[in-house]
Structure 1
Amino acid sequence: MKNIQIFTIIFIINLCMSLKTIIAQISLKVDYVTIEGLEYFKSHNFSSNNPNPALKSINSTASIALKNDSPYSVMNTTVTPPNGNKREYISYAPYLWPSCKGIKNVTDPETQCPYKPRDGLYNPDVRNLSDPVDSRNMVRDVLSLSIFYQLHGDENFAEKAVQLLDTWFVNEETSMLPEVIYGQIKRGPGEWKGREEGILDTRLYVYIPVAVRILEKSRAWNDNIDKGIRNWISDFSNWLMNSNLGKQAFKRSNNHATFYVAQLATYLEFSGRIDEARNLIRKFSETTFQNMILKSGEQPMESKRTKPYHYQCFNLEALTYIALLSQKINGTNLWEIRTKDGATIQNAVDYLIPLKNQDAGQEGEAILLPALYKARDYYGDRSGKYANTISKFLKTTNGASEWWTIYSPKSLRDGNVKNSNGKSYNYDNYDSYSENSATSLFGTSLYAMLSFGLGVFFVFLY
């Protein structure tokens, strides 16, 4: 009996860890989602009997979100923002650390020691704040619930997504104010102030407009939610354009400016301010973008960081998003714009293909995949360079975390592309994700099941 009790405890722990790992695998990237792309996927690749790993992950995440009764809200924070209003979003700068050398009798480093940068070294205590976590999880759940509703038509999932949007953006008792004045604040002696880097925290909000367009067809949608969301996005757009932090973010020479433009252009387009969105992208292409890519394809403002491969892929994430959005609104063709060194986005993608990701961590070269797909889609692939690289990188992923494969706007329409050797790769067949991986969505649950079997074996053994 004692052995059975011990085994039960071990099994429950393993099962909980497996479920946690499934969700932890999901790291949303900024990508351009369209209802048309989702409908294409539904008509050409949708299989209820054998869904691909990414769709399994979306379905699983949506199902868990449906049953989650713990609301995401800025009011959950245990750290009150400096102005005393919990509706203000607050986060700490992740790469700033207290420097207490030479300071005597330190009892509270947060207020006594100056904070200094250690680029690439993540300060773990930033996770003590709930706003960044709740914000990311809210978007993840809204997106998965909306996609599930679009593909399956289950009104329960739409209703849950609408509830999440109401809590975060509309309800005056729980919603976030449409500004980020305390984003990535610098702690230390004196007044804690937000920085323009904090605008990066809301980059995933680019998924909210497409979620709205999906959910407004549901029975759960109503005039109050519609007006509240649209007012929030409009107000946030105005804050991004007119605040000092927003203006500083646009003037940055790296990914902070790129993601700022990606966000603001999205919100402006959603609000019907198409000319303003076009002008923003045009101005970006004529200014900041001009210094972003060298003739070789290297992105100097990202490659000088301590994680050069990661940050160059990260900036491409936003650049390719802007290029796709600009195509939709008949704006500047960012795919064809050349920097002052004569380089395009294609050069930046090509530069990274032969490189090894030497950054610390477990990302690998597969983080380049979304940009590879988009470069192939726009520039073509007569030599098979992208096909070869995509095939190689796909084998290193578990598939479950690659949500973007579900709604990549063009990749899903060009399933079969031949490489230089004449071999055909079908990118619509995402079973290839699981060729070398036992972790395609429920791989970790398989681990729990194996633990169960081993537990039973040892129970009977003893």
Structure 2
Amino acid sequence: MNRLISSLAAIGVACTSLPAVAQSPVAPVCDGSAGYSAAFDGRRTFLWRPDWLTTIKSRLSDDASLQPAWTALKARADAALTREPYTVVTKTMTPASGDKHDYMSMGPYWWPDRSKPHGLPYVRRDGQFNPEKDTKAFDVSSLEGMSQDVQALALAHYFTGDPRYAAKAGEMIRVWFLDPATKMNPNFNHGQAVPGRVSGRAEGVIDAHRLVRVVEAAGLLLPTDALTREENEALQDWFGELVQWMATSTIGRQERAAENNHGLYYDTLITHFALFAGMDDAAQAVAERAKTRRLAAQIDPDGSLPKELTRTRSLHYTTWTLTAAFDLADEARCVGVDLWNYRSEDGRSLHGAADFVAAYAGREQEWLWPELNKAETDGMYEVLQRAAWAWDDPSYAAKAALYAERNADISLNLRVPPYAQ
């Protein structure tokens, strides 16, 4: 399969050379689809930086601030050791395709219409989660559980060296992606379906954001025997097929055309998966185009994200979108594209967007736009923490510190250490 040529043609961008991007002299270099492997003893990660993880590992035994996150992650990894692997074939409903191997989820904000027989068709209530989406009828809870477990197991193995964690992570990856009897087909044709309306929507592609954890975890485990060489190659091929589907399917193309967080997540995900699959030029093409198609188009000159400010959870969606944009900027750096410092002629930039959010640090209750839950601060914390590193700016770190205690147990703290000059 000529994945590179067909993917570039579908994306609609000509292949170009990969220019160098200036980086801090002390920062490790992410080198295309090789990722950070050269600086990380063969571990092929793209977002999990070796200097950050080695720093965290060295501090783990005596840094009290890391203990809540480590306790939570280790508890999850230990529980995963006894858990049966997740698979798409055990859901109780069958997708419209008739194939249980096809992933299926339900739109999170869709509810039965009580005025209609059997509640059909469902109606939308933005920002209000229907718990039906998390039942065994669908796959999203299994996808979330699998990706969180694989991430926890991979990190627990890295921090402790216990081979049980690596072996269990390999088993979970094998069952979800590789075993013919249980594997997921590499598509999201039936993601975020709406009962009585449609069997799958473009918005369902965003469910794949959970696979970012799997890609990084698989790369972290590469030097172990969690997966054989042939299995690692098969996993790369699976993600290559997913890239093909995202680039060529009707649903994939519709999601690519989205002008809000969905479009930005599409670029982030296809870039990440392309890097993992060895499709560097495809990743570079998407990242380069994101300057104008995403950053200049979705960020206003004042730093706001207007498409997200109209939502009932506008602060959540602003920080949710920025974390995806930050991932894309990190991925883009691997293929010589600088999104961190891109600035349009009229001043639209990631830096400006980070400043827009940072202005409300410590006073999120004063956020001027609709927000159903102003007590949710993990998104604000991540944006500020990562912004400090991105622009070597301790002022962001000081603002992130306002949220450190409230978010002490989240896994971000074991992947991105507090900023230090």
Structure 2: runs of 5+ lacking an equivalent: 1-45
**Cα distance per residue 1:153-192 (max 9 Å; x no partner):** 1111111000000100000111110001000012216xx3
Paired AA for residue 299 in structure 1: L
- 2:52 match: 37
Where does 1:135-174 land on structure 2 (aligned, <5 Å)?
A: 135-174=143-182
| Cα distance, 1:216 vs structure 2 | 2.5
Are residue 55 (structure 1) and residue 70 (structure 2) matched?
yes
Give the distance between the partners of 1:56 and 1:288, measured in 2 at CA. Answer: 38
Give the distance between the partners of 1:175 and 1:34, measured in 2 at CA. Answer: 29
Give the distance between the partners of 1:321 and 1:220, measured in 2 at CA. Answer: 26
Are residue 377 (structure 1) and residue 389 (structure 2) matched?
yes
Where does 1:318-337 land on structure 2 (aligned, <5 Å)?
A: 318-330=324-336, 332-337=337-342
Match of 1:175 among 172, 183, 207: 183
Paired AA for residue 118 in structure 1: R
Give the distance between the partners of 1:93 and 1:35, measured in 2 at CA. Answer: 37
Where does 1:425-440 land on structure 2 (aligned, <5 Å)?
A: none
Are residue 232 (structure 1) and residue 246 (structure 2) matched?
no
**Cα distance per residue 1:238-268 (max 9 Å; x no partner):** 1111111111111111111111111110111
Are residue 394 (structure 1) and residue 408 (structure 2) matched?
no
- 2:380 match: 368
Structure showing greater radius of gyration is 1
**Cα distance per residue 1:111-163 (max 9 Å; x no partner):** xx223322112222222234101101101111111111112111111110000
Conserved 8 A contact 2:169-2:226: no
Give the distance between the partners of 1:97 and 1:220, measured in 2 at CA. Answer: 41
What is the DSSP-based 3-state SS (H/G/I as helix, E as strand, rest coil) of the residue aligned with 2:123? strand
- 1:28 match: none
- 1:246 match: 252
What is the DSSP-based 3-state SS (H/G/I as helix, E as strand, rest coil) of the residue aligned with 1:287? helix
Are residue 203 (structure 1) and residue 209 (structure 2) matched?
yes
Give the distance between the partners of 1:336 and 1:354, measured in 2 at CA. Answer: 19
Conserved 8 A contact 2:170-2:227: yes
- What is the TM-score normalised by the length of structure 2? 0.82
Give the distance between the partners of 2:70 and 2:374, measured in 1 at CA. Answer: 23
Give the distance between the partners of 2:312 and 2:272, measured in 1 at CA. Answer: 30
Paired AA for residue 384 in structure 2: L
Conserved 8 A contact 2:261-2:321: yes
Give the distance between the partners of 1:255 and 1:161, measured in 2 at CA. Answer: 30
**Cα distance per residue 1:261-317 (max 9 Å; x no partner):** 111101111122111101111112222322211122111000111111000000001
Conserved 8 A contact 1:291-1:340: no
- 1:345 match: 350
CA 1:254–1:325: 2 relative to 1, 3 Å: same
- 2:8 match: none
Conserved 8 A contact 2:296-2:349: no
Conserved 8 A contact 2:148-2:213: no
Match of 1:301 among 304, 307, 312: 307
Structure 1: runs of 5+ lacking an equivalent: 1-30, 418-462
Paired AA for residue 79 in structure 1: M
| Cα distance, 1:40 vs structure 2 | 3.1
| Cα distance, 1:387 vs structure 2 | 3.4
| Cα distance, 1:367 vs structure 2 | 2.2
What is the DSSP-based 3-state SS (H/G/I as helix, E as strand, rest coil) of the residue aligned with 1:83? coil
Provide the aligned length of Structure 1 versus Structure 2: 367
Are residue 121 (structure 1) and residue 128 (structure 2) matched?
yes
**Cα distance per residue 1:409-439 (max 9 Å; x no partner):** xx55x43x6xxxxxxxxxxxxxxxxxxxxxx
What is the DSSP-based 3-state SS (H/G/I as helix, E as strand, rest coil) of the residue aligned with 1:81? coil
Give the distance between the partners of 1:224 and 1:388, measured in 2 at CA. Answer: 46
Give the distance between the partners of 2:378 and 2:95, measured in 1 at CA. Answer: 38
